[in-house]
Structure 1
Amino acid sequence: MDKIEALDFANKHFNSVFNSSNTHFANVNKAKPVWWIEIPINKIKSPNLPYIHLLLKSDRALNWLKVDRQYFVDNLAGFKVRENKDVICLEINSNTFQNMVGPNRASFKQFLI
């Protein structure tokens, strides 16, 4: 599944509006059970964006995480930041929904819809 297919599926089956501006997509990594996501810092700091949606495809399902943008703002220091790309990096375990990189190894399970 690619991002366009995921957005199309989510817009048809989930009760929300998904687009390239508010949604990030990842397939589960083939080498280890994680999803890799990079979110631009300017998106996290945009007051016009109340939520950042993560569509995470596993072998079994398309998982939707609805993350309040303010969560990223409030916890920015706990995430791995790639200064050269001005993004935060997430490596979310596909079994536990726990972020595996950066100083804050927070669980994202609370955002699972």
Structure 2
Amino acid sequence: PVNRSIKAGLLSLIFILQHNKNNGATNKSSSRSSSPMDKKDRIQKQIPSQMTINHLRMMIRRLFCLSPKTLFELYAQSGRHRGIVNTEIPLDVDTREIGFYNLENDDYIFIRI
């Protein structure tokens, strides 16, 4: 039997807001070596795997109180690959569903402003 309940399709993801200190620089190490994160910069949330990246962006704007003019990029990192450098997956196609990226519970979504 196929389980079609909404609860079965939920993913528990950790959203981490990262501010780029250099405004436009692509040096990823600078954003990671910043001061310890505030509680408000890290939120764990359950979302359906059928949610599109576009809807995820709207949800992130509400969660972190970002203005509509604020531009940000999304990157996912699996728990299996946290110790390996350059294993982040860009979530850059707004029409794709989150399930396309094979994310699992407790994976990270980085929001880079």
- TM-score w.r.t. structure 1 length? 0.27
Higher relative contact order (CA 8 A, sep 6+): 2
